[in-house]
């Protein structure tokens, strides 16, 4: 391993089509180290995210040859001021001490149609926080991060975004020799719980306060108003804001069957974004105990535990900013909010999956609806029914049933009409009994409208491991086209995309053997 100091040599001055600001840098040198990315051999575009570029109204030139070098870390965009930031954190429940951007280099904030966006080059070389790591990211994990960022966005789930993916033949040693890649990722802020834990652990309250003030001023100004709910305490309001965003994020993850895999506090975004895509997985068969990270021997981050882990992580954040809130009772009271907010958000999300959201579901019926959800989940768990397929088939069946009912309102319901749903389970009597309860709750005259709504809520396409794996295998042979195909499906996962049915199918047998390594 190359243990030379991180690269501080000036790289060639280069293109300037973005307008940069550097508000984080105003915090001062305790928060970061200025340094340049390490050049990457023979970079080549593996993916350019035209959708994101257009959303941000960044010019075409962002994807020209000069920018290929800039987004690979071989040249600097004029006006950018690269740096790596320091943070700490709890990993797998243990205090891990100082971590920091070990391989992500911040270029600064670029003005965009959606406000200033921070850009990071992930895999752009060693930093003072690399702790013996090589500062690189392999093509395999970079493809997964690129695609999953955009898949989450397509699903309407808050996430960091991915602007580009640059591949290189440069060898990188993991379990075997792989090749390097750099993802340019984009977010309004990459602040993590761990940034706060860092200064708290150092007992540096002055820096802690500066960091919190920075976050409030530039990213969460609504905290000033929210402080009215918390005795005028703006730091309590900050915790409350993060608590609410995290609760809502977790509800969305659970509702779509997403397992993050490494919910360490340093991977938790202050803005409630999905952050740091590693061994994540969209579940195939539904199993609340599902563990997607093969290094997670205790199952700390199993699917069903994610909401509690998020609470635990919020507790860590609360402890770290407690000196700012300066009122223990108030701090605990803010945290309590999660215990009502998360179940409420999950309840709403699951009811929406059943088409029972909105006007069709008066407040008084929430409890009964939740029982309906629980019983269905129990049934699905017993047989590990395919999560995505089940909800999608249920949505389709509702549309079909709705049509049939409009044509012949008097015809009784027939089990055969639900075949696409009941075919997914062995215990058909149990599912049939559930379907009868569900139908009675919904009212058959509402099926058609509910079905349409459900098709906008239950995706046809998610980034299953085997889909990513196929794109990875082809990319390793130099063919990046499957990345684009997947991106096209995943950016609008609720659309039918005729001709691409195979991408919505059950995973093939070989997918069972896939072990998603934590190494990246």
Sites of contact with Mg ion (CB under 5 A)? 267, 276
Binding mask 226-265 for ligand AMP (x = CB under 6 A): ------------------------------------x---
From the CB of 469, what's the least distance to ligand AMP, in Å? 20
Determine which helix (DSSP H) or strand (DSSP E) holds 178, and give its type and residue range: strand 177-187
Instruction: Please list, residue by residue across 206-222, b when 16 or more beta carbons sit within 10 angstroms of its beta carbon and e when fewer do.
Output: ebbebbbebbbebbbee
Interaction between residue 93 and ligand AMP (CB under 6 A)? no
Q: How far is 76 from 225, CA to CA, in rounded Å?
A: 39
- DSSP string for 232-301: T-HHHHHHHHHHHHHHHHHHHHHHHTEE-S---GGG-BTT--B---SS-EE-SB--TT----TT-TT-TT
Q: Which of 79/102 has CB closer to ligand AMP? A: 102
Q: Which of 48/260 has CB closer to Mg ion? A: 260
Q: Which of 135/272 has CB closer to ligand AMP? A: 135
- Report residue 497 as tokens: 């995309």
Interaction between residue 101 and ligand AMP (CB under 6 A)? yes
* Among the listed residues 25, 68, 102, 285, the single contact to ligand AMP using CB under 6 A: 102
Q: By CB under 6 A, which span of 100-108, 156-164, 449-457, 467-475 interacts with ligand AMP?
A: 100-108
Nearest to 121 by CA among 150, 151, 164, 79: 164
* Among the listed residues 73, 108, 257, 278, the single contact to ligand AMP using CB under 6 A: 278
Q: Which of 75/138 has CB closer to ligand AMP? A: 138
Interaction between residue 133 and ligand AMP (CB under 6 A)? yes
From the CB of 278, what's the least distance to ligand AMP, in Å? 6
From the CB of 99, what's the least distance to Mg ion, in Å? 8
Q: Which of 134/276 has CB closer to Mg ion? A: 276
Interaction between residue 128 and ligand AMP (CB under 6 A)? no
Q: Is 266 one of the annotated active-site residues of the chain?
A: yes
| Identified catalytic residue from 266, 276, 348, 386 | 266
DSSP at 159:
B
Q: How far is 18 from 57, CA to CA, in rounded Å?
A: 10
Binding mask 153-192 for ligand AMP (x = CB under 6 A): ----------------------------------------
Backbone angles phi, psi at 458, to 5 degrees: -105, 105
* Sequence-distant (≥ 6) Cβ neighbours of residue 255 within 8 angstroms: 346, 349, 350, 352, 353
Q: Are 143 and 3 in contact (CB under 8 A)?
A: no
The catalytic site residues sit at: 266
- What residues make contact with ligand AMP under the rule CB under 6 A? 99-103, 129-130, 133-136, 262, 267, 276, 278
């Amino acid at each position: 391993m190359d243990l030379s100091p991180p690269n501080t040599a000036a790289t060639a001055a280069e293109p300037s089509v973005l307008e940069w600001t550097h508000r984080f840098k105003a915090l001062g040198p305790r928060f970061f180290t200025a340094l340049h990315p390490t050049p990457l051999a023979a970079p080549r575009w593996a993916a350019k995210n035209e959708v994101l570029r257009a959303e941000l109204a960044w010019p075409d030139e962002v994807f020209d040859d000069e920018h290929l070098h800039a987004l690979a870390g071989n040249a600097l965009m004029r006006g950018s001021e690269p740096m790596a930031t320091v943070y700490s954190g709890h990993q797998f429940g243990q205090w891990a001490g100082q971590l920091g951007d070990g391989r992500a280099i911040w270029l600064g904030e670029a003005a965009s149609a959606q406000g200033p966006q921070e850009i990071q080059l992930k895999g752009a070389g060693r930093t003072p926080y690399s702790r013996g790591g090589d500062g690189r990211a392999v093509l395999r994990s970079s493809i997964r991060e690129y695609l999953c960022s955009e898949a989450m966005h397509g699903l309407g789930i808050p996430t960091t975004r991915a602007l580009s993916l640059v591949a290189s033949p440069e060898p990188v040693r993991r379990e075997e020799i792989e090749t390097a890649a750099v993802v340019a990722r984009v977010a309004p802020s990459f602040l993590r719980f761990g940034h706060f834990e860092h200064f708290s652990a150092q007992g540096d309250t002055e820096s802690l306060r500066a960091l919190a003030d920075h976050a409030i001023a530039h990213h969460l100004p609504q905290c000033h108003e929210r402080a009215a709910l918390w005795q005028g305490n703006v730091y309590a309001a900050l915790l409350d804001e993060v608590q609410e965003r995290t609760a809502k994020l977790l509800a969305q993850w659970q509702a779509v069957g997403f397992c993050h895999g490494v919910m360490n506090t340093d991977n938790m975004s202050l803005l409630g974004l999905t952050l740091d895509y590693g061994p994540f997985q969209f579940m195939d068969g539904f199993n609340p105990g599902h563990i997607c990270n093969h290094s997670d021997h205790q199952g700390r981050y199993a699917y069903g535990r994610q909401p509690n882990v998020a609470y635990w992580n919020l507790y860590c954040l609360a402890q770290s900013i407690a000196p700012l809130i300066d009122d223990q009772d108030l701090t605990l009271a803010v945290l309590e909010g999660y215990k009502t907010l998360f179940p409420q958000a999950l309840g709403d999300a699951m009811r929406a999956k059943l088409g029972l959201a909105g006007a069709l579901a008066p407040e008084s019926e929430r409890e009964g609806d939740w029982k309906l959800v629980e019983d269905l989940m129990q049934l699905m768990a017993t047989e590990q029914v395919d999560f995505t397929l089940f909800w999608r088939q249920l949505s389709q069946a509702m549309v079909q049933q709705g049509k049939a009912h409009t044509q012949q309102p008097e015809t009784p319901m027939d089990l055969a009409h639900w075949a696409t749903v009941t075919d997914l389970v062995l215990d058909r009597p149990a599912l049939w009994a559930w379907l009868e309860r569900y139908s009675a709750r919904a009212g058959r005259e509402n099926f058609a409208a509910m079905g349409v709504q459900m098709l906008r809520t239950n995706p046809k396409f998610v980034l299953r491991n085997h889909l990513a794996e196929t794109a990875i295998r082809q990319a390793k042979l130099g063919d990046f086209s499957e990345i684009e195909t997947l991106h096209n499906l995943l950016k609008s996962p609720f659309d039918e995309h005729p001709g691409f049915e195979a991408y919505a199918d059950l995973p093939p047998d070989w997918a069972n053997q896939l072990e998603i390594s934590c190494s990246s």
